[in-house]
Structure 1
Amino acid sequence: MAALEAWASWGFLTGAAAAVIIAVRWYLKISHCCRLVARIPGPPGIPLLGNTLQLIARREDILKYLKELRDRYVTVCKLWVGPILCVGMLDPKDISVILSSSKTLSKPIMYNLVSIVFGNSLLTAKFKEWKKFRKIMEPTFSNRIIESYISTFHEKSQRMADLLEERCHGEPFNMADYSMPCALEMLSETSLGVPMNIQGKSHQHSVVENFPKIAEVGAFTLLTPWMWFHLTHKFFPLYYKVIALVKPIRNYVTRLIKDKTESYISSRKHYVAPEASDIDINVSDIPKKRLGFLEHMVSTMVENPGLLSIEELQDQAMFVIAAGTDTTAYTLATTLMLLGLHQDVQRKVLQEQASIFGEDTSRPVTTIDLQQMVYLEQVINETMRLYPVAALMARRVDEDVSVNSYTLPAGTIVVIPIYLVHRNPEYFPNPDTFDPDRFSRENSASRPACTFIPFSYGRKMCLGKSYTYMAMKTMLSVLLRRYEVLECGSRDDMECFKFELLLKFNHGYSIRLRQRTFVIKNME
């Protein structure tokens, strides 16, 4: 009995000592953070919880809340979410430091729940793994490979345009219902190398149907601090809702990879990987077919055992499908909405199309054509400036880093509200006005880096940038040569949006179309 009492006492003392050590370390860490960021302004909080309750209270209108903080604190603001320090940044010079630094390459803790959907992908992986994945994937998103997709972009765009004939009578409809299946077909037949025919079908593909629902749930959990931790989020029903929504998409991806792996193994002599500068991949044959994303990833997995697991490949494919589909589909719909509201801009776009295609409203788009669509690219850029699909991004500070006149301690979460960065009146006068001329070569030359970051910046810039521009230009060229976009709704309607991991409009993506009944080249 005495021995048991001694052990019990020893256990109590050990536990108490451990608790004291943890408490002291926590106090020292918080004190260190407080000293370093004392000069950074921010709203007052309450003991222990900090600004957590404010964040939760404004979760439904987080972008509006961030705008209020911007109006009050201008370029930098701190919030405490319990012991976690969050610093919001709006100054492009400060953002450039953060996105370029080797000390800020990690994803913050709130991305833990996102890993349920995308696993260990480029979006969620730790830096060492991210670096490996990036090296493997980068060659498949080169301009040279994406240019080979243009014929597919045009074919799928024409299919979408044909389906839109039933909508060309001037009545409003939701453009996203057409752009989303089209974007998924494009991605499937190019990056995934899998034929797909879902446009015009009554039954929606699980990717089209479930990803928007996942985004809605994901945004809620991303702004709910007690769901940031692996130990806690499994206690909430939303976790299991996400699991149920992800399952059919992951099953679909698993089948694709299985089929592609079997196909590659049976005909591997006909395939080689694209150039990959510093990836050690066994290539012993002369290129006969340049591989797209999925085929290249499969070949890498087969030829280099241990470099890439099938689970990691599934995660990368899930992320590529979501990013490539949503970004293209929503940006296309938003661009058409803006062109309907700004007929003068639409006329300029049509004049440029006429200079390229003349009276031909159906000629396939080529690489040279896309290079000549300078003004159309300005329109796309201005659309992404006003309504970036990715409205927020965040980075974790791994080591103390100096930014401007202050130092951010390790562990700080830096939040970059892209939506507000893009509406900085210092760099974009009358920032709420739709004006594609902002992105002319002359007007863009004087703006510093990180004033326009729809694809991020630095080492982690989005791989799909070229893909998005080429796909978007092709889709818009096909649609605008056949249809006139009529005014529908208002800019005030478009300013009513919500954050669902992506920026989405409360009133949907309504547009009106009418068949073009005049010769483009004669239009004034």
Structure 2
Amino acid sequence: MAVAGFVVSVALVVILVYVAYFLVSTVSSIRKQRAVLLQWPGLPVHWLYGNLHQHPMGNPKTRTESPEEGFIFNCKMTEKFPRGFYLLFGPTRGELVANHPGIFRPVLKGRDPKPLMQGQPSYNFLRPWLGDGLLLAKGDTWLRNRRLLTPAFHFDVLKPYVPVYNEAVDVFMTKLEKCATDGVSFEVTKNISLLTLDVLLRCAFSYESDCQIKGDKHPYVKATSQLSTIIVDRMFSMLLYFDLPFKLSSMGRRFMKSCDFVHNVSDEVIKRRRSQLEVKKQNPDAGSERKYLDFLDILLSARDEDGKGLTDLEVRNEVDTFLFEGHDTTASGLTWMLYAMATNPDHQRKVQEEIDEVMAGRESEEVLWEDLGKFKYLVQCLKETMRMYPPVPFIMRVLERDVEIDGKVLPAGTTVDLGIYCLHHNPLIWPDHMTFDPDRFSSENIQKMDPFSYLPFAAGPRNCIGQNFAMNEEKVILVRLLRRFHLELDPNHPVKFSGELILKAQNDVKIFLKPRV
């Protein structure tokens, strides 16, 4: 008994020492992190709340009723602290908010991963859905997958997609014609999102879903929409930051159910395609009805130097990531471009004149691959739109190495919030930043531009691999729409930002379509 009591006593001492060590090291780590962040300017810090009580998104009422206040807050902070500022969220978490090229440049030149920490809002919330696809992967996994996927976005692969864009737009234009005929305003994001999803499903794995016709009732649309909504809701529910309580909650159960559905769709398509490729391998003369290589074809044929390819799980992760990253982001860019055209009629007219000139004399409305490089002013307007309304307003990185900025050292492990919206509205970089001015992106002005002052697709090794795909798709959609219709904003429907992962309008944007003569 005495020996047993002695063992228990020793065990308790060891546990207490370990707990004390853990607490001391944690407190020390938090103090060091705060000291690093406090090298930068910022608002006064409360000992418990940090800056959470000063940020509109920290107030549940403001967050739900007026999410646009968060963007206004960040703009004001950028005007006050145009070379970066700290934000502390409670007693344990903080980050540096980057809003100047001088911070973006050294951070984005590295291959630093996204934050995937338990116990706080992070990209980790996406992991059950997207797995270790390009968005979330890090280290050697990311490097290998990036190398294997790069050929999927070569112009020889992208070129045959242009007819696919046009086919999807044909369905979209039928819906627009009905709105114009009925004289009702057109809900932009709702319908554009269905169009971009249709395009991606066709280009990702030749999946014709009829999602534009079925709309929100389509099971795949419902599942992906619910996944995105839950991720945002979880970011502002502190009790659900950890995986276990989240999975046990009703929100977590809905999330996993939608995950399973989306994964089952991908798994079934991958299985069927592998079977088709095996038949083709056994019988090379066997024909195929498809006229182009889709994203899935590229993934299944990709090989390392040793001949090893991607597993079915890795393929699924990349397909799901491609759909997630290219669906809502492209819809956001298109939504705000149409909004910009509707609120700037002179620029809309100039874009339409350019379109008319390029497409003159054609009976068909189809946009060709050869046309895409001819819409210079349209591209200027699209770039200015993505400056004012970047589809992904904020991205994050966790530094894997020490970075020196303006004589201040950010040690490895520091979280940096790369505020692309703040950067694009920094008055030091963009004078009169709230004015829509496409001439900022004239060929003459682009040559003078700091490449890290405009980053709708990020930059560096982890930039958006699909940016050429997205730009081509947007050009086709915009040309087709603006060639046929004149746009006018619905004056009875106010437009405000929503607080989501992707920059959207609260309650959508509504536009009237007037047929052009």
Bigger mean CA deviation after superposition, 12-21 or 80-89: 80-89
Structure 2 residue aligned with 1:118: 130
Structure 2 residue aligned with 1:167: 179
**Equivalent in 76, 81, 84 of residue 76 of structure 1:** 84
Structure 2 residue aligned with 1:20: 20
Using a 3 Å threshold, how does the CA distance of structure 1 residues 12 and 418 change in structure 2: closer, same or farther?
A: same
**Equivalent in 205, 208, 225 of residue 192 of structure 1:** 205
* 1:112 alignment partner, SS class: helix
Whether 2:147 is the aligned partner of 1:135: answer yes
Q: Where in structure 2 are the equivalents of 1:467-482 lying within 5 Å?
A: 467-482=469-484
Per-residue CA deviation, residues 126-172 of structure 1 (Å, 9 max, x unaligned), is: 22211121111111011221112111112221221123211114421
Whether 2:264 is the aligned partner of 1:251: answer yes
One-letter code aligned to 2:158: I
Count of matched residue pairs:
498
Structure 2 residue aligned with 1:85: 94
Query: How far apart, CA to CA, are the structure 2 residues paired with 1:113 and 1:26?
Result: 24
One-letter code aligned to 1:354: D
Cα offset for 1:54? 5.2
Query: How far apart, CA to CA, are the structure 2 residues paired with 1:235 and 1:449?
Result: 46
Query: How far apart, CA to CA, are the structure 1 residues paired with 2:236 and 2:209?
Result: 36
Query: How far apart, CA to CA, are the structure 1 residues paired with 2:34 and 2:191?
Result: 51
Output the TM-score relative to the length of structure 1: 0.87
Query: How far apart, CA to CA, are the structure 2 residues paired with 1:175 and 1:147?
Result: 27
One-letter code aligned to 1:131: L
Query: How far apart, CA to CA, are the structure 1 residues paired with 2:338 and 2:48?
Result: 48
One-letter code aligned to 2:218: H
Cα offset for 1:455? 0.7
Bigger mean CA deviation after superposition, 249-258 or 387-396: 249-258
* 2:494 alignment partner, SS class: helix
Using a 3 Å threshold, how does the CA distance of structure 1 residues 389 and 156 change in structure 2: closer, same or farther?
A: same
Verify the 8 A CA contact 1:428 1:438 in the aligned structure 2.
no
Query: How far apart, CA to CA, are the structure 1 residues paired with 2:306 and 2:275?
Result: 16
Q: Where in structure 2 are the equivalents of 1:326-475 lying within 5 Å?
A: 326-360=328-362, 362-475=364-477
One-letter code aligned to 1:431: H
Structure 1 residue aligned with 2:45: 45
Per-residue CA deviation, residues 348-401 of structure 1 (Å, 9 max, x unaligned), is: 111111221114363421222111011111111111111112111000012222
Structure 2 residue aligned with 1:279: none
Query: How far apart, CA to CA, are the structure 2 residues paired with 1:91 and 1:53?
Result: 25
Structure 2 residue aligned with 1:217: 230
Query: How far apart, CA to CA, are the structure 1 residues paired with 2:154 and 2:213?
Result: 31
Q: Where in structure 2 are the equivalents of 1:475-490 lying within 5 Å?
A: 475-489=477-491
Structure 2 residue aligned with 1:520: none
Query: How far apart, CA to CA, are the structure 2 residues paired with 1:269 and 1:141?
Result: 28
Structure 2 residue aligned with 1:181: 194
Using a 3 Å threshold, how does the CA distance of structure 1 residues 409 and 476 change in structure 2: closer, same or farther?
A: same
Query: How far apart, CA to CA, are the structure 2 residues paired with 1:227 and 1:42?
Result: 29
Query: How far apart, CA to CA, are the structure 2 residues paired with 1:157 and 1:290?
Result: 18
Whether 2:107 is the aligned partner of 1:98: answer yes
Query: How far apart, CA to CA, are the structure 1 residues paired with 2:103 and 2:516?
Result: 47
* 2:396 alignment partner, SS class: strand
Query: How far apart, CA to CA, are the structure 1 residues paired with 2:469 and 2:161?
Result: 9
* 2:214 alignment partner, SS class: coil
Cα offset for 1:227? 4.1
Query: How far apart, CA to CA, are the structure 2 residues paired with 1:302 and 1:396?
Result: 28
Output the TM-score relative to the length of structure 2: 0.88
Verify the 8 A CA contact 2:330 2:391 in the aligned structure 1.
no
Cα offset for 1:306? 6.1
Using a 3 Å threshold, how does the CA distance of structure 1 residues 221 and 247 change in structure 2: closer, same or farther?
A: same
Structure 1 residue aligned with 2:287: none
Verify the 8 A CA contact 1:49 1:83 in the aligned structure 2.
no
* 1:458 alignment partner, SS class: coil
Structure 2 unaligned spans of 5+: 285-289
One-letter code aligned to 1:261: R
Cα offset for 1:305? 8.2
* 2:464 alignment partner, SS class: coil
Cα offset for 1:21? 2.2
Using a 3 Å threshold, how does the CA distance of structure 1 residues 251 and 66 change in structure 2: closer, same or farther?
A: same
Using a 3 Å threshold, how does the CA distance of structure 1 residues 353 and 395 change in structure 2: closer, same or farther?
A: same
Using a 3 Å threshold, how does the CA distance of structure 1 residues 446 and 203 change in structure 2: closer, same or farther?
A: closer
* 1:217 alignment partner, SS class: helix
Verify the 8 A CA contact 2:78 2:426 in the aligned structure 1.
no
What is the alpha-carbon root mean square deviation over aligned residues?
Answer: 2.7
Verify the 8 A CA contact 1:107 1:126 in the aligned structure 2.
no
Verify the 8 A CA contact 1:340 1:488 in the aligned structure 2.
no
Structure 2 residue aligned with 1:507: 507
Cα offset for 1:86? 0.8
Query: How far apart, CA to CA, are the structure 2 residues paired with 1:364 and 1:269?
Result: 38
Query: How far apart, CA to CA, are the structure 1 residues paired with 2:134 and 2:371?
Result: 32
One-letter code aligned to 2:408: Y
Structure 1 residue aligned with 2:11: 11
Verify the 8 A CA contact 1:264 1:298 in the aligned structure 2.
no
Per-residue CA deviation, residues 24-51 of structure 1 (Å, 9 max, x unaligned), is: 3224433433444442123343446644
Per-residue CA deviation, residues 48-91 of structure 1 (Å, 9 max, x unaligned), is: 66445556624623434433433443331222344333111101
One-letter code aligned to 2:474: M
Using a 3 Å threshold, how does the CA distance of structure 1 residues 223 and 264 change in structure 2: closer, same or farther?
A: same
Determine what percentage of the aligned residue pairs are the same residue.
Answer: 24
Query: How far apart, CA to CA, are the structure 2 residues paired with 1:369 and 1:167?
Result: 28
